[in-house]
Structure 1
Amino acid sequence: MSQDGIDLETSLGYLLKEASSALRTAMEASLRPLGMTITHYSCLELLSQRPGMSNSELARGAFVTRQSMNVLLQTLERDGQVTRPIEARVGKVLPAELTPLGRESLAKATAAVRSVEIRMLGNMTPAERSVARDTLRSMIHNLGSLDGNDGDGESQR
């Protein structure tokens, strides 16, 4: 390690990125047999919890571009997992909703993802899990939320 370098063994940022990469790899492996990607699963989960989300809202929630989400929504619509109105009620927004087939796909994916999370948490106690959640939330807050806010709802733009 150079004098000005970061010690990768002790860098929390590096460890967090390594954990994120390991989680992504495990989730991809668990979803692949279901014919799903993480973005596909995220979209279904978001729509389950917040029906009627727009393409832009789904893209932000799944951490992808609007264009990528639009392509995914068109595919999910074609496959019968999502419905959207033909015409926007207001502006250009076409709110999406899960179909029964989409809910069925989500149930299988949720079980797969839950098994990954259980494996990830391994032998952590409930108290350790709580500390980990609080620590991660604090890190997110300290860096500013992912949508450009400082964590208190104030935009930094």
Structure 2
Amino acid sequence: MSQDGVDLETSLGYLLKEASSALRVAMEEVLRPLGMTVTHYSCLELLAQRPGLSNSDLARGAFVTRQSMNVLLQALEREGYVTRPTEAPVGKALPTRLTPRGRRRLEKATVAVRSVEVRMLAGMTEAEQSAAFRSLRSMTRNLRDNDAP
């Protein structure tokens, strides 16, 4: 037990952070040969699921700053993976869409990321996997729903 009374071996928050870090490292390892990062992959995946998201929406979804996302979007646009209008159709937001090239790149990355998820769940029964999903969703919902004091 540490001086402040938290035993890291039994701290669920610490264990979740450790699992998150291990997942990110494993994902970065399989994405690196594709010339991608987790943030890069997250951005393409978000756009595949919700075409037309703005820079701010993508930043929130990928857990990065708007500035970081803007730099990434500029690079993705130069590489031909996404397209954005030169002027915002409404307001200031520039809706971003995957190009066919971006969709092909995402397909390769999805296979790599899925292999990490399969590895992470190895040895768990379907019931254990379902319970883990339910527990994590419940914890996330509890924290989001109970933000107010």
State if a TM-score over 0.5 links the two structures. Answer: yes
Q: After TM superposition, what 4+ stretches of structure 1 lie above 3 angstroms from structure 2?
A: none
Q: Give me the TM-score of the superposition, normalised by structure 2.
A: 0.95
State the alpha-carbon separation in 1 of the partners of residues 67 and 135 from structure 2. Answer: 33
C-alpha distance 13-89 of structure 1, shift in aligned 2 (>3 A): same
The corresponding residue for 2:73 is: 73
Q: Does 1:119 align with 2:148?
A: no
The corresponding residue for 1:19 is: 19
Residue aligned with 1:48, SS: helix
State the alpha-carbon separation in 1 of the partners of residues 96 and 82 from structure 2. Answer: 6
State the alpha-carbon separation in 1 of the partners of residues 143 and 44 from structure 2. Answer: 28
Q: Where in structure 1 are there 5+ consecutive unaligned residues? A: 145-149
The corresponding residue for 2:57 is: 57
Q: What CA RMSD, in Å, does the superposition of the two structures yield over aligned residues?
A: 1.6
Worse overlay, 8-17 or 101-110: 8-17
State the alpha-carbon separation in 1 of the partners of residues 135 and 45 from structure 2. Answer: 24
Larger proportion of helix? 2
Structure 1 residues 94-133: aligned runs within 5 Å: 94-133=94-133
C-alpha distance 3-58 of structure 1, shift in aligned 2 (>3 A): closer
Q: Counterpart of 1:125 in structure 2: which amino acid?
A: T
Q: Counterpart of 1:93 in structure 2: which amino acid?
A: A
The corresponding residue for 2:8 is: 8
Residue aligned with 1:140, SS: helix
Displacement, 1:10?
1.3
